[in-house]
């Protein structure tokens, strides 16, 4: 029997909240199976939280991103862009990936954008030894309160 688990993507330093300035040091947040194991990915969720209201043309409560975010499937030294090469630069860009984006107002002020999406329609993605699912960041996210990527997998 497979047990569903939520796995937060992390950087090489173990950080899971991607709110840093990655312009001079591009950073990847990733998930990979344990040695000898595999991950069967059902879907991915992005949580973006800010202290201010969000607008469609911004990223969270920041200005639109200059470089953009890519989600990559890495297998045997090959990388496949899960965004189809259409990098995420603003809140509305996530709508091309998500079937059910939700914008929530935080009680203390500001907004949280929750973006669940399937990485591959009709089938699950299986990561084996040496494979990775990664989110590539090379913009400044310091104005966000929360910026977390996680997968639901078996």
pLDDT tens digit at each of 154 positions of the chain: 678 899 999 999 999 999 999 999 999 999 999 999 999 999 999 999 999 999 999 999 999 999 999 999 999 889 999 998 899 999 999 988 887 899 999 998 899 999 998 887 778 899 999 999 999 999 999 999 999 999 999 9
pTM: 0.92
What is the rounded distance in angstroms from the CA atom of residue 46 to the CA atom of residue 53? 17
Which residue in 71, 70, 67 sits closest to 43, CA to CA?
Answer: 71
pLDDT at 96: 84
- Would you give the end-to-end CA distance of the chain in angstroms? 10
Which residue in 141, 87, 94 sits closest to 113, CA to CA?
Answer: 94
pLDDT at 146: 96
Planar angle of CA 15, 21, 22, nearest 5 degrees: 80
pLDDT at 124: 87
pLDDT at 118: 85
What is the rounded distance in angstroms from the CA atom of residue 151 to the CA atom of residue 43? 6
* CB of 25 closer than 8 Å to CB of 140: no
What is the rounded distance in angstroms from the CA atom of residue 147 to the CA atom of residue 48? 5
pLDDT at 101: 93
pLDDT at 68: 98
């Amino acid at each position: 029997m497979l047990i569903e688990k939520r796995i937060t993507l992390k950087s090489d330093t173990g950080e899971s909240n991607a709110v840093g300035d990655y312009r001079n040091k591009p950073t990847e947040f990733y998930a990979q199976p344990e040695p000898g194991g595999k991950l069967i990915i059902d879907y991915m969720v992005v949580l973006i939280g800010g202290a201010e209201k969000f607008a469609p043309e911004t990223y969270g409560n920041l200005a639109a991103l200059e470089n953009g975010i890519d989600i990559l499937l890495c297998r045997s030294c090959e990388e496949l862009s899960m965004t189809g090469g259409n990098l995420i630069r603003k809140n509305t860009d996530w709508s091309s990936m998500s079937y059910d984006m939700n914008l929530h107002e935080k009680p203390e002020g500001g907004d949280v954008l929750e973006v669940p999406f399937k990485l591959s329609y009709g089938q699950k993605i299986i990561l084996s030894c040496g494979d990775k699912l990664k989110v590539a960041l090379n913009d400044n996210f310091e104005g966000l309160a929360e910026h977390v990527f996680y997968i639901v997998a078996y």
